[in-house]
Amino acid sequence: MQSTITCRQIGTVTWENKTDYIFDACDSIHVWKIIISENIPAINNMQALLSDDELKRAGRYHQQNDRERFIISRGALRVLLGRYLNLDARAIVFKAGVDKKPFVQNAAETNIHYNTTHSGNYVLIAVGQTPVGIDIENQEPMFQYQGILTHSFSEPEITYIEQAENPLKTFYTLWTRKEALLKATGKGIDDDMKRIPSIDGKHAVAGSLIKSDKDWFANGFEIDECYAGTIAATIEHVKFINLELSGFGIY
């Protein structure tokens, strides 16, 4: 059993500013961007959507910024999934499935998948009708990435990073591809991370490595020059959409 993983960079994407939201991801993956600082006015409304367990989790954050990020991202996830599933946002029940990958327990027969990531002032939520994985990383200029190369990257990947015009940016590009693929397949980050391909092009891998016999696309993108991101799915087409909670009448 073999799979093909196609890695590519689609560069800086155009984020749609939609007022007529269509919650149907049958032919593409939807990536929603939430800018935390712009949605702080919705914090109380988002908090009101959370379950008791989520409220307890929010309370464990000592830093206000971390607490606000969790409340807004979790509330926004509930709002979005509620629209896709035609459910009240408060009624959604999350459960951990195989490999602890979360899913919506009360999604009835609707085939919906989601994944989230956050970094800095951004939260991204990916939604589709097939498994998805998404990762975003702030490219910290002082991060000593060299110390994890041998554990997480193959020899060709290490050479590719070291010989790149911008090694730090290249490191983050390849890192987000690996993370997004592992999140999409539910494999999780482990000692096999260096075996997950990340260089541009098509790669044949053993299905047992990623626990999948499907072909995958790892599409890298940029929010701005400081952030690297990747969306991984079995569908190549991706729509990128700004999420302004005011558009949902949240505040």
Confidence of residue 100 (pLDDT cuts 50, 70, 90): confident
Q: What is the pLDDT of residue 23?
A: 83
- Taking every pair of Cα atoms in the chain, the longest distance, rounded to a whole number of angstroms, is 51
The gap from C-alpha 58 to its chain's centroid, in whole angstroms, comes to 20
Burial class (CB in 10 A: 0-12, 13-18, 19+), 225: exposed
Calpha distance 69→62 (Å, rounded): 12
Identify which has the larger pLDDT, 194 or 124. Answer: 124
What would the mean pLDDT of 213-237 be, rounded to a whole number? 93
Q: Residue with structure tokens 């959370």?
A: 50
Q: How many residues does the chain have?
A: 251
Poorest-confidence range of 71-80, 182-191, 238-247? 182-191
- The answer on pLDDT for 225 being more than 60 is yes
For the chain, the straight-line distance linking the first and the last C-alpha, in angstroms and rounded, comes to 50
- The chain-wide mean pLDDT, for the chain, equals 90
What is the domain count for the chain? 1
Calpha distance 80→216 (Å, rounded): 25
Residue partners of 41: CB distance under 8 A and separation at least 6: 246, 251
Helix, strand or coil for residue 17? coil
Residue ranges of alpha helices (H) inside the chain are 43-47, 52-59, 64-85, 149-152, 155-162, 167-185, 207-210
Is the Cβ–Cβ distance between 1 and 206 less than 8 Å?
yes
Query: How do residues 120-158 score in pLDDT, each as one tens digit?
Result: 999 999 999 999 999 999 999 999 999 999 999 999 999
Query: How do residues 63-89 score in pLDDT, each as one tens digit?
Result: 999 999 999 999 999 999 999 998 999
Say which CATH number the domain at 26 has: 3.90.470.20
- In the chain, what percentage of residues exceed pLDDT 70? 93
Buried b (16+ CB within 10 A) or exposed e, 17-52: eeeeeeeebeebbbbbbbbbeebeebbebbbebbee
pTM, two decimals, is: 0.94
- The answer on pLDDT for 175 being more than 80 is yes
* The token pair that represents 154 in the structure block: 């193959």
* The token pair that represents 181 in the structure block: 């693929």
- The answer on pLDDT for 110 being more than 90 is no
Buried b (16+ CB within 10 A) or exposed e, 86-120: ebebeebebeeeeeebeebeebeeeebbbbbbbbb
Domain residues for the domain of 179 are 2-248
Burial class (CB in 10 A: 0-12, 13-18, 19+), 244: middle
Q: Residue with structure tokens 């910290």?
A: 140
Identify which has the larger pLDDT, 224 or 168. Answer: 168
Cα angle 215, 216, 217 (rounded to 5 degrees) comes to: 140
